[in-house]
A and B are shown apart, each in its own frame.
Chain A
Amino acid sequence: MPLDKEHLEYPYRSYGMDHAHYDWSMLSQRPAITWPNGSKLAVWVNVCLQFFPLNQQGKPFAVPGGMTMPYPDLRHFTLRDYGNRVGIYRFLKAFDRYGINPTFAFNTQLAERAPYLLQRILERGDEILCHGWNMDSLHYGGMERDAEAELIERSLSRLRELSGREVSGWISPARNESEHTPELLAANSVRYFCDWVNDDMPYPFRTANGDLVAMPLSTELEDRFVLMNNLHSEQSWLEQVCDACDFLLQEAQQQGGRILALNIHPWMLGQPHRIGKLEQALEYISGRDGVWSASASDILAAWQQQTR
């Protein structure tokens, strides 16, 4: 029996994308961007601060880094908790040592559970953005719209309340979304989100409630992906970061400002045997000419100033 005829029909086969979320645009053909003080490469170090519930439901899937053993999976619960107790403080020292201006993505429930950590970050004056409720509260296709609306509103309003900050950025847990996520974010005064990995620069993303900006946060270079998914060595992660830094600096000489986005997790790179590689990466990056270490919002503001 042949396939239904829809399999040989191509309703979106025309110029541009096969959806209306954003316009088709090649990075190399866009006007050059200049970063403050003539910098070539904006470095966005994004730290995910996460809470993985012990009673994980895994709906519709178990997140990478989540529980894998029968309940109670104490090994993974505590190993993730390690990052928020120990690893993060190694990160903070490293950032200060190399003059890095980091951005922190909080699961709101972690901000609630660890007020000391939240206060510590707030006192530093670093940007925080919302990383959803927790690592087991996923946004996914087929999710009931009202349930997601409540989840997004709760995640954002509670983090804003706890922090006293505006909180204008968003990363979905596991970088996964439903078809409604972007418009619900826009309805809750989010200005930018970081789930789509289709660019190396910001771009406007349409929603029914106004535009968001999609900020480029590479998955391919993040510590969890390289070390835990690909099982590469710590030394290889360092080499990959340095190679990316070199390449983007070089491309920026010809095409205008670029962004090196490092998404990192204290439960991963905060381990004693890995922290040195993060330090070496930061030392390498901060030692290059033309590098601007900035928060996600500062990068976004500089980009928006030139593209409005």
Chain B
Amino acid sequence: MKSDPGFYGYWPYENRPRIQWPGGARIAFWVAPNIEFYELDPPANPHRKAWPQPHPALPGYSIRDYGNRVGHMRQMEVLDRYGVRGSISLSTALCDHHPEIIELCAQRDWEFFSHGIYNTRYTYGMSPEQERDMIRDSMDSIHRHTGQHCAGYLAPALSHSELTLDLFAEVGTELAGDEAGFYTCDLFHDDQPTPIQLRSSKSFVSIPYSLEMNDTIAYVVNKIEPRRYGQMLKDNFDRLYQEGADSGTVMCIPTHNYQVSCPHRLRAFEEALEYITGHSDVWVTTGREIARHFIDNHYEQSVADISSRAGGC
């Protein structure tokens, strides 16, 4: 085990090279709906329990099923209304279980990226070969069902190994060269994209995917009231929009169709979307487009800037 994952060097949030988003936008705004499949009776991972109760754990299972049966369509309609294309963090088995949802998202040109196969299969305990197989299977599924090369990764249930990002980038290269496997949502260290050091030296970037703005973290872990969540989203946006006048920032709202789409929570989410997309200098985009733009325009200067700070001021 290491004391630091070694993905990036220290990079202070001042005097960085200016990030310029398309159209002169101050902020790149993206919404990442997690569309997940949780198994009712998964094999028991020796390192993490899937459910608190003995099988059948229907309280947890059934509310997540609610997300797909009921919540997805509601959230999609709200995103349509404000011109937001979702960047889906996908349990890729959902392509097999619920192809209707995949079709609805594909029709809207939403992005699909890998969130593993099932959100009840954890990376913990996998050998590198097993993790590579799981990642390849998930990326293959996305390509087979949607024609998209999977650009991004969020490890299933945020369960990682030391090699997760390396394996994801390498499988992407094997499948589609630089067109697949070039960004991650697994790291929460910054409000701007960060070049990530991998063993393959591939150009690979961490895209901000805020844990703080994540509806499940807000509602389940922090137990925040819906209207306060809506206000937090606006406050988060206001500050990043202000700072984006100096150098482009990124705001992400990670959602879950079983949280944000409940009847008593949608209003707060919709009001925040209306507020955010009502500003002029907002690039409403997807995770892949942010990562691609950063790699094409800002990657090298960022790498150079990070190494120039290594020795201090």
Chain A interface residues (CB < 8 Å from chain B)? 1-4, 6-8, 10, 12-19, 24-29, 60-61, 140-142, 175-179, 195-200, 218-221, 229-233, 236, 239-241, 243-248, 251, 260
Contact = CB atoms under 8 A, between A and B. Distances in A.
A196 B264 CA distance: 19
A221 to B, nearest CB: 5
Contacts of B64: 198
A7 B45 contact: yes
A178 B126 contact: no
A246 B265 CA distance: 11
Contacts of B65: 17, 198
B225 A13 contact: no
B178 interface: no
Contact of A3 (B45, B61, B98, B264): B45
A176 B24 CA distance: 54
Given A25-B69, A200-B263, A232-B223, A3 B55 contact: no
Contacts of B57: 141
Interface in B220-234: 223, 225-227
Contacts of B97: 13-18, 24
Contacts of B266: 243, 247
A142 B54 CA distance: 7
B223 A230 contact: yes
Interface of B: 37, 39-41, 43, 45-46, 52-59, 61-66, 68-70, 72-74, 93, 96-101, 117-118, 121, 125-127, 129-130, 133-134, 219, 223, 225-227, 262-268
Contacts of A18: 37, 39-41, 97
Given A12-B39, A60-B54, A221-B264, A3 B130 contact: yes
Interface of A is mostly: loop
A244 B263 contact: yes
A165 B41 CA distance: 37
B69 A236 contact: no
A172 B213 CA distance: 34
Given A16-B97, A26-B72, A179 B55 contact: yes
Given A197-B66, A233-B225, A14 B56 contact: no
Contacts of B59: 175-176, 197, 219
A60 B126 contact: no
Contacts, number: 155
Given A29-B100, A241-B264, 5 more contacts: A17-B65, A26-B100, A220-B264, A243-B267, A244-B264
B90 to A, nearest CB: 14
Nearest to B73: A28
Nearest to B74: A251
A3 B66 contact: no
Given A27-B70, A198-B62, A236 B227 contact: yes
Contact of A199 (B54, B66, B96, B262): B66
Contact of B263 (A4, A24, A177, A248): A248
29 contacts: A2-B126, A2-B127, A3-B125, A13-B117, A14-B97, A18-B41, A27-B69, A27-B70, A28-B73, A60-B53, A141-B54, A176-B58, A179-B56, A195-B58, A197-B63, A197-B66, A198-B62, A198-B63, A198-B65, A198-B70, A199-B66, A200-B263, A236-B225, A236-B227, A239-B225, A243-B263, A243-B264, A243-B266, A247-B267
Contacts of B37: 18
A27 B73 contact: yes
B16 to A, nearest CB: 39
A200 B58 contact: no
Contact of B262 (A3, A16, A178, A221): A221
10 shortest interchain CB distances as A-B pairs: A141-B54, A2-B127, A244-B263, A198-B65, A240-B264, A244-B264, A198-B62, A28-B73, A230-B223, A196-B62
Among B53, B66, B263, B266, the most chain A Cβ lie within 10 Å of the Cβ of B263
A7 B126 contact: yes
Contacts of B61: 198
A247 B264 contact: yes
B39 A3 contact: no
Given A2-B127, A24-B97, A220-B262, A7 B43 contact: yes
B130 A7 contact: yes
A231 B69 contact: no
Contact of A2 (B56, B130, B262): B130
A17 B93 CA distance: 11
Contacts of A179: 55-56
Contacts of B68: 26
Among B99, B130, B223, B267, the most chain A Cβ lie within 10 Å of the Cβ of B267
B98 A24 contact: yes
B126 A177 contact: no
Nearest to A19: B40
A26 to B, nearest CB: 6
Given A243-B267, A246-B267, A198 B66 contact: yes
A141 B55 contact: yes
A260 B263 CA distance: 9
A239 B230 CA distance: 13
B36 to A, nearest CB: 13
A18 B56 CA distance: 12
Contacts of A7: 43, 45, 121, 125-126, 130
Nearest to B133: A8
Contacts of B126: 2-3, 7
A61 to B, nearest CB: 7
A118 to B, nearest CB: 28
B130 A26 contact: no
Contacts of B134: 8
